[in-house]
């Protein structure tokens, strides 16, 4: 597959296509830290193909710096385009992608993947932004996606976004998206898919749109995904081999896991049997007042099987109540349910607030570490995120779970293979 990757983020969807042997002609991403993450992951895949992953592992162990890694991995930095997509930049981005294609002797793009930032469509984003959401320019970033379809005319595309896309603007944005894509000579079908059905231990719902170029496809059928049974697994399977941590601390390095890799970690490709380098098991600071609330939240779940409501703190300890509003937004604190088959959704807001992602261990009383959040998203332990802690949490929360992305990429590859067979 020849793939063009738009609004790439840290590369969750990208990772799925890497796993299906895709060749990329470009990744376009605004955030500089996310672009560095993409470069480091590109280095991983380059070295893996050359059977030189020891170089990458040296980077994880801090034996070499990032520039040395990128140099030794023969990184093509021009493939990762650190730019917003706008009227002022789109032509230069087109030109860079065409240059990349020429340098690789590639004449056409098979598939475009990606989804515009979802803050303007998500229900939580709309609640935070308020009335200003109507004038948010991100509402119409999908129009640039369509311009890439017109310019490169791929055989297919995969467009990802939040379920709120269906209701944002009372449905007008989705209606306009469908109309513009149809006018660009593509047929599309969309479904709301749930990450748990792909083996991800997270109740994450996403709109996945598949599109087919009408010049190539006379029939269109949304791919059927085999649902994976996760009933034998628990969220605790994601956490129990990681060492205990205090808030505002970290544990990294060789032989730092406390247990061998388990069945779920191996199935999900999070941690293979032999992988033994722990990175980015890093926690944020938490004040003592919040830790007391965390303790109450953990106990309430595991003793009563109930979530803490913020106004309940008035009866428990008034000194813990710092917000005047005790009548709405009562679910400010939420523990990760380690005794269930899946976690609640990890979103980008985890970067600003760990209260909604409390670690379930009463002995630790903290929010999730970077590595724990990445695992809930099904990122492998050898996936290294670049940037400061806040940026990394945002990258993780915005991503498509790689395990889900791998199935999407597999189906896309099969559709393109069938098309090629029919042409032959």
Cβ 243 vs Cβ 257: under 8 Å: yes
**Rounded CA gap, 279 and 243, in Å?**
12
Q: How many CB atoms lie within 10 A of CB 272?
A: 13
What angle (nearest 5°) sits at the alpha carbon of residue 308, between those of residues 317 and 338? 130
Show the tokens assigned to 40. Answer: 């480091």
- Whole-angstrom CA distances from 218 to 111, 186, 243, 415 are 17, 11, 54, 13
DSSP 348: G
Closest CA to 336 of 308, 367, 379: 367
Cα–Cα dist 188/190, whole Å: 7
CA 387 to the chain's CA centroid: 16
CA distance 31 to 399: 13
Specify whether 118 is catalytic: yes
Interatomic CA distance for residues 356 and 339, integer angstroms = 17
What is each CA distance from 176 to 221, 276, 311, 403, in whole angstroms?
A: 22, 49, 42, 30
Active-site residue, selected from the candidate residues 35, 118, 131, 424 = 118
Half-sphere CA count of 172, side-chain side, radius 13 A: 6
CA distance 21 to 214: 25
Tokens linked to 302: 């595991």
Q: Which residue has the tokens 């992951």?
A: 41
Residues marked active site are found at 118
């Amino acid at each position: 597959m020849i793939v063009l990757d738009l609004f790439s983020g840290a590369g969750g969807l990208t990772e799925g296509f890497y796993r299906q042997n895709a060749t990329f002609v470009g990744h376009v991403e605004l955030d500089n830290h996310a672009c560095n993450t993409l470069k480091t992951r590109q280095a991983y895949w380059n070295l893996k193909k050359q059977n030189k992953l020891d170089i990458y592992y040296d980077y994880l162990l801090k034996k070499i710096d990032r520039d040395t890694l990128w140099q030794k991995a023969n990184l093509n930095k021009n493939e990762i385009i650190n730019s917003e997509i706008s009227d002022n930049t789109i032509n230069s981005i087109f030109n860079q992608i065409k240059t990349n294609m020429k340098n690789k002797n590639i004449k056409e793009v098979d598939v475009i993947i990606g989804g515009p930032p979802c803050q303007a469509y998500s229900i939580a984003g709309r609640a935070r932004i308020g009335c200003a959401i109507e004038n948010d320019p991100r509402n119409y970033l999908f129009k640039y996606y369509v311009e890439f379809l017109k310019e490169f005319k791929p055989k297919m595309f995969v467009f990802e976004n939040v379920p709120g896309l269906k209701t944002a603007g009372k449905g007008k944005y989705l209606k306009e998206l469908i109309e513009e894509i149809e006018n660009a000579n593509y047929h599309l079908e969309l479904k709301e898919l749930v990450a748990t059905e792909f083996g991800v231990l997270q109740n994450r719902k996403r709109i996945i749109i598949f599109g087919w170029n009408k010049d190539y496809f006379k029939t269109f059928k949304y791919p059927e995904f085999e649902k994976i049974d996760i009933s034998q697994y628990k969220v605790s399977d994601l956490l129990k081999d990681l060492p205990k941590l205090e808030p505002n601390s970290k544990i990294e390095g060789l032989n730092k896991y406390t247990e061998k890799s388990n069945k779920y970690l191996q199935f999900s490709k999070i941690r293979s049997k032999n992988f033994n380098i722990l990175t980015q098991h890093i926690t944020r600071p938490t004040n003592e007042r919040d830790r007391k609330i965390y303790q109450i939240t953990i106990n309430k779940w595991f003793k009563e099987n109930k979530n803490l409501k913020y106004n309940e703190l008035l009866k428990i300890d008034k000194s813990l109540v710092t917000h005047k509003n005790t009548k709405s937004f009562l679910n400010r604190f939420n523990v990760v349910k380690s005794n269930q088959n899946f976690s609640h959704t990890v979103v980008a807001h985890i970067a600003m607030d760990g209260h909604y992602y409390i670690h379930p261990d009463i002995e630790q009383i903290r929010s999730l570490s970077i590595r724990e959040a990445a695992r809930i998203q099904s990122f492998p332990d050898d996936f290294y995120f670049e940037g400061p802690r806040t940026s990394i949490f945002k990258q993780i929360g915005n991503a498509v779970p790689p395990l889900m992305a791998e199935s999407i990429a597999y189906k896309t590859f099969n559709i393109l293979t069938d098309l090629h067979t029919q042409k032959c």
